[in-house]
Structure 1
Amino acid sequence: MSSISSVSSMKQRNILFIMSDDHAAHAISAYGSVINETPNLDRIAADGMRLNACFCTNSICTPSRASILTGTYNHVNGVTTLDTHMDNTLDTFPKRLQAAGYQTAMFGKWHLGHGPEHDPTGFDQWRVLPGQGHYHNPVMLEPRNDDRGHEVIERGGYVTDLITADSLRWLEMRDPDRPFALMCHHKAPHRTWEPSSKHFTLYDDVDIPEPRTLMDDHEGRADVVKAMEMRMMDLDPIIDLKALVPPGLSERDEISWRYQRYIKDYLRVIASIDDNVGRMLDWLDDNGLAENTLVIYTSDQGFFLGDHGWFDKRMMYEESLAMPFLARLPGVIPAGSTSDAMAVNVDFAPTFLDLAGVDVPSEMQGRSLLPVLSDAEPNDWPESMYYRYWMHGDWAHNVPAHYGVRTKTHKLIGYYNDPLGQAGADGPVQPPEWELFDLVADPAEMRNVITDPAYGAVARELQMELRRLQTELGDEPHANADAELERLLA
């Protein structure tokens, strides 16, 4: 088996980093999905490794992308909400790769702000969507020739195809004698799930299996969780479901009808991603670059696919917290392998720099995943991860601000329910609440055991681990939330 040292002794590796938006791991067949087939994504898994415990540190688009680029948590990089755009003078892995001689490019969804202070930097070439962008005939932004901001261009076609075409065109025109780092970032499958004409009728004649927790009534969960507005009944019939609700349905039947309308379009836009990932993999094969290119497929966070009756993300529950992560690099990553080692999105930047033989700055808070990907997990690898969602009662879904810790067996979530003056956090201050889940006995997170005396010792251990992680990472706990946890555990 190849060791990590063999990476630096060979020709400098290329990097192809493909990221989608809101693609849940349980909608990928390599992860055992019962609702979807993704043959091209599965090619990456078959030739490489599937990480089973990869998590985001803040399940919302802009903050997650900032953490991926900088290798830092959001309280450090300042990108805590959708309305706190990234300062493009921050240190990022593309800048360091570019300085080390890599050719760098970014095509697709940026979602970190636009203008002199927020446009992409560290890339030889970029072309990105403004904000969320559109599925059909999108407008895109690219740098001006005079290096003064960006210009707007109109594109004809389907966004997933266009992003892939831009990526392939850049690969064709690159200098073949220098390594490259290409970020191909898709808009799909972000809401409002508008399929291409090729996949418009896919799944018309089938019923997609419903998740076991579709009818979850959230009994025993925090009051702020019960009040969230991302149930199937919160989907807009015209914008999201593209149809009027049939008259005369019972509430149970309407939820099922809404789920089918929602999930089919979600899976249809993923079908376009899978096709286009296949185009990228075929190009690497045809041009003799597959053996020397690290290919990663991931998403900026997970997504609820009717799980707990919800759509969207933001929460620390598993379906939202978990990120897919498939990686292929022949000779380094064993084919057909899996790992249960815990990974987080701040680990991505150190991984890319480590692979390229570029020094990882001490300011980056993640760890290189190369040992894990080469099936050599270090003995001191982390066994817990820290999460914080800073938005609170935002206009879209009424999701509460919270933080927590996840280990391999348990999860402790503290809803501190305070906007703390964050941009995009407009909800009222509410009393803190806590949830505790046993992920072994209750992997679906249906039973909150925070007040169960049998879990008192576990809760104390998780409380200590949460405090340790906050101290280690330099984040501030919420005094009222800590006091409420003490009260519950007394």
Structure 2
Amino acid sequence: MKTTHVLFSVAGVTIVSSSLFSCQQKQEQKYKPYNIVYIMTDDHTAQMMSCYDRRYVHTPNLDRIASDGVRFANSFVANSLSGPSRACMLTGKHSCGNKFYDNSTCVFDGTQQTFPKILRENGYQTAIIGKWHLESLPTGFDYWEIVPGQGNYYNPDFINMNNDTIRKKGYITNLITDMSIDWMENSRDKKKPFCLLIHHKAIHRNWLPEIKNLSLYEDKVFPLPENFHDDYEGRIAAASQEMGIAEDMDLIYDLKMLKDGQESRLKKTYECMLNRMDSLERKQFEDFYAPITEEFYKLNLKGKELAEWKYQRYMRDYMKVVKSLDDNVGRILDYLEDKGMLENTLVVYTSDQGFYMGEHGWFDKRFMYEESMHTPLLMHLPKGLKAKGEIREMVQNIDYAPTFLELAGIPVPEDMHGVSLLPLLRGEHPVDWRKALYYHFYEYPAEHMVKRHYGVRTDRFKLIHFYNDIDTWELYDLKEDPTEMHNLYGNSDYASIVDSLKETMLELQEQYNDPVRFSPERDRD
């Protein structure tokens, strides 16, 4: 039986409660239930946040959250893909439990249990603004306004609760923030606690910057990752992907090198995006990229030189989109501070998964390798929660739902796969905290052609099984090989470790009722 305990701040005194509103009936004037502001971006990786990694970019507002609150060093997703990750977050369950396996074939079942529904049933106001990406319309929210599909960076469309699609003038990151602040200030019932999900399109491909930021970072030269020119030796699945910067990053769609007579697979999609701009925006955009485009085609780069040129352009545009995102996180923090709400509000910042910034020569995500499975997670903690600085315990995006519920004093449903992070936020370090994480990626064949796989990760080792049209295993020692270049599976020195990890994997598959299981007898070396 899962137990629920929650802390409320009452004039500096900590009260422990097992039920938000039964306690509220008795002590209605003595405390305010915590609010939750959950900011999630798309494809924002920890490498591109200065509170995690100082090599590339400065993110002062995200760093504000980390310096004032906590930064999770070992935060991971259960399925590194936008829609499935969001379904895991909403339900507190792995993909096998919420049934949203991939972006290609699934529609989210809005009748199922989600944490916004449970919060709403217990007196919270709930809202989501921005990216939804689950094919169905949101349920369990008092208010929602979402972008269709991936959304557009410039003058985007939004679907409102009347199911009307309305185009709004502006840059999407600014608009989502404007709408979120407006809801908090003018539309919510201020007598109730609230949970607001601010879900950005940024920093998703194809990294279209806010017009005012076009010229930023053009003088910056990024160091190549050590494994940028990876040859994928001993890693069959890694060799068969289609997400390489050299081969698969589109010159027009991704890198804006549009030229008369030049064609690419995604050229028409890119032109549709540009057509959303007004004439002034379009002129500024084209004036900026025109000389870069002209110079690029004169150079006529090939091979490694072309790959490295593409990498530099990719990194610069990605950084520009991060800049707008960080600025808007600052706007949210400033609003909460100005209104005196920070002491009573849990502010969470995360992304739906990690992303490759040239590691292994890639962009995108999907694989169980570290850059993709790992996701940033920062929290500003309200009064009454004492943790500070770095938290090293392994956590997963299935843990968000139970955390929000326990914070609100609501019992966590027994069928949720995740565990509440509240003990960690109190500054505790439970000795029985999980020792392994389970991962399962299902979307194949599809964009980027990453093979289906599942696996288990401990603090030191990672075991992955690629299956379906392939049957191959990979083992990594994350201490000795943090960039995951050397597959140790089949090395007799690691036979006992493999056996132990397979046993752990089976236990987790049983625990989460994941029906795709390997046979120990068949797969034993």
| TM-score normalized with structure 1 length | 0.91
1:338 CA drift (Å): 0.7
Q: Which amino acid aligns with 1:138?
A: P
Q: Which amino acid aligns with 1:227?
A: S
Q: Which residue of 2 aligns with 1:230?
A: 243
Whether 2:150 is the aligned partner of 1:132: answer: yes
Q: Which amino acid aligns with 1:404?
A: G
Q: Which residue of 2 aligns with 1:471?
A: 510
Residue pair 1:68, 1:346 contacting (<8 A) in 2 also: yes
> Deviation string for 1:102-140 (max 9, x for gaps)?
111100000001xxxx21111111110000010000011
CA distance in 1, matches of 2:316, 2:119: 39
Q: Which residue of 1 aligns with 2:389?
A: 337
Q: Which amino acid aligns with 1:368?
A: S
Q: Which residue of 1 aligns with 2:319?
A: 267
Indicate which of 456, 472, 485 corresponds to 1:446: 485
1:449 CA drift (Å): 0.4
Whether 2:411 is the aligned partner of 1:411: answer: no
Distance 1:238 1:317, change over 3 A: same
Indicate which of 364, 367, 372 corresponds to 1:312: 364
Q: Which amino acid aligns with 1:140?
A: F
Indicate the larger mover: 43-52 or 5-14: 5-14
Distance 1:333 1:102, change over 3 A: same
Whether 2:171 is the aligned partner of 1:158: answer: yes
1:336 CA drift (Å): 4.5
1:331 CA drift (Å): 3.0
Q: Which residue of 1 aligns with 2:309?
A: 257
Q: Which amino acid aligns with 2:227?
A: T
Q: Which residue of 2 aligns with 1:25?
A: 46
Indicate the larger mover: 454-463 or 326-335: 326-335
Indicate which of 319, 324, 332 corresponds to 2:376: 324
Any gaps of 5 or more consecutive residues in structure 1? 145-149, 419-429
Residue pair 1:8, 1:355 contacting (<8 A) in 2 also: no
Q: Which residue of 2 aligns with 1:97?
A: 119
Instruction: Give SS of 2:251's match.
Output: coil
CA distance in 2, matches of 1:215, 1:33: 23
Matches within 5 A, 1:345-384: 345-384=397-436
Instruction: Give SS of 1:35's match.
Output: coil
Any gaps of 5 or more consecutive residues in structure 2? 8-13, 18-30, 258-292
Distance 1:391 1:457, change over 3 A: same
Q: Which residue of 2 aligns with 1:37?
A: 58
Indicate which of 339, 346, 368 corresponds to 1:287: 339
CA distance in 2, matches of 1:8, 1:30: 32
1:4 CA drift (Å): 5.2
Indicate which of 444, 464, 471 corresponds to 1:432: 471
1:456 CA drift (Å): 1.1
| Number of residue pairs matched by the alignment | 461
Q: Which amino acid aligns with 1:354?
A: E
Residue pair 2:41, 2:202 contacting (<8 A) in 1 also: yes
1:250 CA drift (Å): 4.0
Whether 2:240 is the aligned partner of 1:189: answer: no
Distance 1:248 1:484, change over 3 A: farther
> Deviation string for 1:406-464 (max 9, x for gaps)?
00000000001x2xxxxxxxxxxx23001000000111111000021111111111111
Instruction: Give SS of 2:209's match.
Output: coil
Indicate which of 93, 96, 109 corresponds to 1:87: 109
Residue pair 1:62, 1:85 contacting (<8 A) in 2 also: no
Instruction: Give SS of 1:153's match.
Output: strand
Q: Which amino acid aligns with 1:169?
A: D
CA distance in 2, matches of 1:7, 1:474: 37
Indicate which of 225, 230, 234 corresponds to 1:220: 234
1:484 CA drift (Å): 5.6
Q: Which residue of 2 aligns with 1:426?
A: none
Whether 2:162 is the aligned partner of 1:111: answer: no
CA distance in 1, matches of 2:308, 2:153: 26
Residue pair 2:96, 2:512 contacting (<8 A) in 1 also: no
Q: Which residue of 1 aligns with 2:440?
A: 388
Residue pair 1:49, 1:338 contacting (<8 A) in 2 also: yes
CA distance in 2, matches of 1:291, 1:158: 30
Residue pair 2:66, 2:378 contacting (<8 A) in 1 also: yes
1:334 CA drift (Å): 4.0
1:365 CA drift (Å): 1.1
CA distance in 2, matches of 1:7, 1:196: 45
Indicate the larger mover: 174-183 or 276-285: 174-183
CA distance in 1, matches of 2:15, 2:202: 33
> Deviation string for 1:334-380 (max 9, x for gaps)?
46411110111111000000001112111111110011122212221
Indicate which of 466, 478, 485 corresponds to 2:523: 485
CA distance in 2, matches of 1:391, 1:186: 23
Instruction: Give SS of 2:159's match.
Output: strand
1:476 CA drift (Å): 2.0
Whether 2:187 is the aligned partner of 1:206: answer: no
CA distance in 1, matches of 2:16, 2:444: 45
Residue pair 2:387, 2:426 contacting (<8 A) in 1 also: no
Residue pair 1:19, 1:299 contacting (<8 A) in 2 also: yes
> Deviation string for 1:42-68 (max 9, x for gaps)?
100011100011110000011110010
Instruction: Give SS of 1:127's match.
Output: strand
Residue pair 2:387, 2:425 contacting (<8 A) in 1 also: no
CA distance in 2, matches of 1:248, 1:86: 46
Residue pair 2:387, 2:424 contacting (<8 A) in 1 also: no
CA distance in 2, matches of 1:335, 1:362: 26
Instruction: Give SS of 1:30's match.
Output: coil
1:170 CA drift (Å): 0.2
Residue pair 1:4, 1:332 contacting (<8 A) in 2 also: no
Instruction: Give SS of 2:51's match.
Output: helix
Say which one has the larger Rg.
2
Q: Which residue of 2 aligns with 1:172?
A: 185
Q: Which amino acid aligns with 2:458?
A: T
Q: Which residue of 2 aligns with 1:424?
A: none
Identity %: 45
Residue pair 1:302, 1:320 contacting (<8 A) in 2 also: yes
Matches within 5 A, 1:297-308: 297-308=349-360
Distance 1:142 1:253, change over 3 A: same
CA distance in 2, matches of 1:335, 1:372: 7
CA distance in 2, matches of 1:88, 1:54: 27
Residue pair 1:167, 1:184 contacting (<8 A) in 2 also: yes
